[in-house]
Amino acid sequence: MYENDVFIKNFHTITSIGYDKKVGVNRLALNKYDIEARTRLIKEFNSINANISYDDGGTIFGSLGGNKEESIFIGSHMDSVPNGGRFDGMYGVVSALNVLKKLKNNGQINKKISAVDFTNEEGARFQPSLLGSGLTTEVFTKEFVYSREDDQGISFKDAVSKSGFMGSEENRAKRVKPGKYLELHIEQGPVLEHEGYQIGIPIGIVTMVVDEYEFFGESNQAGPTPMEMRKDALVSASRFITEVRDTARKNGNGLVMTVGKIKNDPNAYNVIPGKVMLNLDIRSPDKDIAFEYSKRAYEIADKISKEEGTEVKHRNLWVTETTIFNEELKKTIEKICKSLDMKYKYIYSWPGHDAQYMNRITDTAMIMVPSHNGRSHTKEEFTSDQDLINGFNVLYKTVLNLM
Amino acid sequence: MYENDVFIKNFHTITSIGYDKKVGVNRLALNKYDIEARTRLIKEFNSINANISYDDGGTIFGSLGGNKEESIFIGSHMDSVPNGGRFDGMYGVVSALNVLKKLKNNGQINKKISAVDFTNEEGARFQPSLLGSGLTTEVFTKEFVYSREDDQGISFKDAVSKSGFMGSEENRAKRVKPGKYLELHIEQGPVLEHEGYQIGIPIGIVTMVVDEYEFFGESNQAGPTPMEMRKDALVSASRFITEVRDTARKNGNGLVMTVGKIKNDPNAYNVIPGKVMLNLDIRSPDKDIAFEYSKRAYEIADKISKEEGTEVKHRNLWVTETTIFNEELKKTIEKICKSLDMKYKYIYSWPGHDAQYMNRITDTAMIMVPSHNGRSHTKEEFTSDQDLINGFNVLYKTVLNLM
């Protein structure tokens, strides 16, 4: 079990970058911790004499077997959300690195193999998410990606340039033409642990619709306006949040609807709220259901606003339609799980992943491991060492099978 | 009508300090606009050779007739909430200044008369509100008041010192022992306009209970957590906001309950909210009703949290019990209204005012004028010139009656 121990030690070392026990991980894309993690990754690649390249979105590729014709890409991302966990994304990158190490050590490099760290997967610093994979697969244009700005007004282009990881267009995944892409990731949900599975094989990634709502009421001193004369934007928003949750619950078909972000104006204890902005995130494996419930939520907001005497504006911010991964690769992963005697389950991935854009340019699949209590994007995010090792071995064996 | 025009012109000139048509007034306590307004007030006091003094909370007194035994204080505040209106507070200060001017001009100074600008009435920069009147009446201790900090960590003491308006303890109202206090203010509610009255005579100020709630859920990635496994702090808070509003509406007895401030964590569109903090503001002329509904709201929060699997902590932030103003002064104001042929109504003041602390050290009353559509604490706050003039004349005649 020497190799598993080496992998786990390497994992815990690298994931400590930007981690604080009290607040979690704050390794936002291209911030000082992300740059520290990238610098460490480069050092690791150098230790196995990997060929290192960056594309023009700062996405990093470390490759072995560069003289071979066919190629396999494996990877994920190292950036985190604010106060995030140690496993999200980082697990896939460190596992990819260690697959390269193990293959090299065992003399098993029969195809070109690249470990990838995609820039700004989370969308926490630059919106939208998946900027690095979006550029490297040419789903997004360079103009669009470069013009994204963080809360401080720093553009994505400037952040990549300043980080020292600016590379060139010809290194983009789309130009290099990988033959396969595999991504190992934590589930970020409770299903595998809850149902007692060791490995999840994602059928694909669900449809995601993100809508924005603005409720307009009448801002007034809290004291003198009688209850029946009020137009309270926060009351309308609160009724909306409750009713949307109840509607999603009643559907019962795996649909989820979340209001995660809300901004209340003027947000003073003694002023009736005059304006509330919120985002509604809707996900379903079935595109038509996601779209239908987006429409239903519009109607709920309109109805409530009419009843409350407030006004509401709603608009779609973005949609990503259902991704279905490569059937042959999924069968290969299933075969490996069986050979390793792993309990596996076909599931949907509910969060987006870099794999969804890689799926547009090459045969792609993912491998997932349990998240304790389903917690993710929080410091409580946890996956046991044994589960990490299980996933790592399934990834390694799958790659070996493709070699 | 010459004097009325002078008053109105003076009012519009001084209230333009810190005002921007698009965003309203941002004359927060002791910020650059408040200091500009204070400097202007000093200039005005000097123009009538008033004796100027500051207490150790930066509250400003401009006095005429300093050799007289008995004294009358009149005033209000010049600070505003963020994006506030032009009339709140400033109306009382400019009117007091102009009463001094008019009395002096007419040779009517038979008692000591002081115009007052209380520091930090709003509580928008330093919490709680009424800091200046709280200190000058010695309701608050100096230690408490000085230790208050704004969002930038600047203490009240440092802000007063830096403003140049730091004075001494012996100038506090409590030490100077005023014989009467009168405050002219906009209603900040819709009742007077709605019912066709020109003047409101506040019976007193309602009881105000401000409670803080923290709802704790489980923060998770929005996608993978099924609806039935969620512990969403924002859903609990939303149900609470809605149910509290419905409960207050049903009471129908003039009780108001407002959630004006809410903070959602981590507040990202794709993360289930893990923690929500909010303030509940409860007001009623009847102290017992306010306390009873504070308790009912606690029970509502407990019930909802139990149903939602979240947790909730609630605590009282502060209480100000019902203030009843001096009966004799109210009768005098009523008499003046009749003599001026003003339509007046006895009402409660729903917002707090500096008068409530002055009421603890001397005979106190207030005079109110209509607020258009009841709007206040917003740039839409408006009172017509005629209503401003009506209130000014009632104040002047009342003071004259007391001379």
pLDDT, tens digit (0-9, with 9 covering 90-100), for B297-337: 999 999 999 999 999 999 999 898 999 999 999 999 999 99
Is the distance from CB of A139 to CB of A357 less than 8 angstroms? yes
First to last CA, chain A: 23
User: Which of A12, A10, A18 minimizes the C-alpha distance to A43?
Assistant: A10
Which residue of B121, B187, B207, B269 to mutate against A (max A Cβ within 10 Å)? B269
Is the distance from CB of A374 to CB of B229 less than 8 angstroms? yes
C-alpha of B234 from chain center: 30
Q: Please give the average pLDDT of every successive group of 10 residues along chain A, which has 403 residues.
A: 85 94 94 97 97 98 89 97 94 98 94 97 91 97 96 95 97 96 95 96 96 95 87 98 97 89 91 96 95 97 98 94 96 98 96 95 98 90 96 97 94
The answer for A 155-214 residues in CB contact with B (under 8 A) is 187-191, 206, 208, 210
pLDDT, mean of residues B94-112: 95
For the record, the structure tokens of B277 come out as: 């903090």
Is the distance from CB of A338 to CB of A155 less than 8 angstroms? no
Residues A32 and A150 grouped into a single domain: yes
CA distance A188 to chain B (A): 6
Residues B242 and B303 grouped into a single domain: yes
Task: For A309-352, give the DSSP string.
Answer: T-EEEEEEEEEEPPEE--HHHHHHHHHHHHHTT--EEEEEE-S-
DSSP B84: B
Give the domain CATH number at A312: 3.30.70.360
C-alpha to C-alpha distance for B80 and B368, rounded to whole angstroms: 18
B281/A269 Cβ within 8 A: yes
Residues B50 and B69 grouped into a single domain: yes
- The ipTM of this complex is 0.83
Residues B223 and B148 grouped into a single domain: no
C-alpha to C-alpha distance for B60 and B87, rounded to whole angstroms: 19
A376/B222 Cβ within 8 A: no
- Interchain CB contact of A350 with B (< 8 Å): yes
pLDDT, mean of residues B184-188: 96
Q: What pLDDT is stored for residue A2 in this prediction?
A: 60
Residue type, A177: K
Residues B85 and B173 grouped into a single domain: yes
Band the pLDDT of B280: cuts 50, 70, 90: very high
Domain boundary among the residues A320, A347, A368 is at: A320
CA angle (B123 as vertex; B80, B215 as ends), nearest 5: 125
B350/A221 Cβ within 8 A: yes
A377/B221 Cβ within 8 A: yes
Q: Positive or negative CA dihedral for B171, B173, B177, B182?
A: positive
pLDDT digits (tens, 9 = 90+) for A125-177: 998 899 999 999 999 999 999 999 998 999 999 999 999 999 999 999 999 99
C-alpha to C-alpha distance for B135 and B119, rounded to whole angstroms: 10
Residues B60 and B147 grouped into a single domain: yes
For the record, the structure tokens of B308 come out as: 């939602």
Domain boundary among the residues B320, B336, B369 is at: B320
Checking if the pLDDT of B2 tops 80, the result is no
| Cα diameter, chain A | 79
CA distance A367 to chain B (A): 15
> How do strand A344-349 and strand A199-205 relate by DSSP bridges?
parallel
- Which one of B225, B232, B281 has the shortest CB-CB distance to A189? B225
C-alpha to C-alpha distance for A42 and B212, rounded to whole angstroms: 49
What domain range is B81 assigned to? 2-206+322-402
For the record, the structure tokens of A255 come out as: 């649909």
C-alpha to C-alpha distance for A68 and A114, rounded to whole angstroms: 12
C-alpha to C-alpha distance for B189 and B185, rounded to whole angstroms: 11
What residues of B are in contact with residue A85 (Cβ under 8 Å)? Answer: none
> How do strand B180-186 and strand B71-77 relate by DSSP bridges?
parallel
Is the distance from CB of A382 to CB of A375 less than 8 angstroms? yes
Torsion of CA B98, B104, B108, B111, to 10 degrees: 90
Decide: residue A341, CB within 10 A, 0-12 exposed, 13-18 middle, 19+ buried.
exposed
Band the pLDDT of B253: cuts 50, 70, 90: confident
Residue type, B252: G
Residues B371 and B294 grouped into a single domain: no
Decide: residue B252, CB within 10 A, 0-12 exposed, 13-18 middle, 19+ buried.
exposed
CA distance B198 to chain A (A): 17
For the record, the structure tokens of A381 come out as: 């995010």
> How do strand A112-118 and strand A60-64 relate by DSSP bridges?
antiparallel
Give the domain CATH number at A170: 3.40.630.10
Residues A240 and A149 grouped into a single domain: no
Residue of A nearest to B375 (CA): A220
Q: Where are the beta strands (DSSP E) in B172-330?
A: 180-186, 199-205, 207-216, 220-221, 256-265, 271-272, 275-284, 311-320, 323-324
Is the distance from CB of B271 to CB of B219 less than 8 angstroms? yes
Residues B283 and B228 grouped into a single domain: yes
User: Which of B63, B86, B67 minimizes the C-alpha distance to B75?
Assistant: B63
Strand, coil or helix: what is A268? coil
- Interchain CB contact of A128 with B (< 8 Å): no
Q: What pLDDT is stored for residue A1 in this prediction?
A: 54
The answer for A 372-401 residues in CB contact with B (under 8 A) is 374-378
CA distance B178 to chain A (A): 29
Residue of B nearest to A83 (CA): B266
The answer for B 277-306 residues in CB contact with A (under 8 A) is 279, 281, 283
Task: Respond yes or no on whether the N-terminal peptide bond of residue B266 is cis (omega within 30° of 0).
Answer: yes
C-alpha to C-alpha distance for B260 and B279, rounded to whole angstroms: 7
- Which one of A206, A223, A270 has the shortest CB-CB distance to B223? A206
Higher pLDDT, B254 or A32: A32
Checking if the pLDDT of B82 tops 60, the result is yes
Residues A84 and A179 grouped into a single domain: yes
B223/A188 Cβ within 8 A: yes
Band the pLDDT of B346: cuts 50, 70, 90: very high
Element counts in chain B: helices (H) and strands (E): 13, 17
B273/A224 Cβ within 8 A: no
Residues A355 and A221 grouped into a single domain: no
Question: What's the domain count of chain A?
Answer: 2
Task: Respond yes or no on whether the N-terminal peptide bond of residue B202 is cis (omega within 30° of 0).
Answer: no
Residues A127 and A259 grouped into a single domain: no
Domain boundary among the residues B286, B320, B354 is at: B320
What residues of B are in contact with residue A350 (Cβ under 8 Å)? Answer: 221, 223-224
Q: What pLDDT is stored for residue B58 in this prediction?
A: 98
Residue the block writes with tokens 């007046």: B344
- Interchain CB contact of B256 with A (< 8 Å): yes
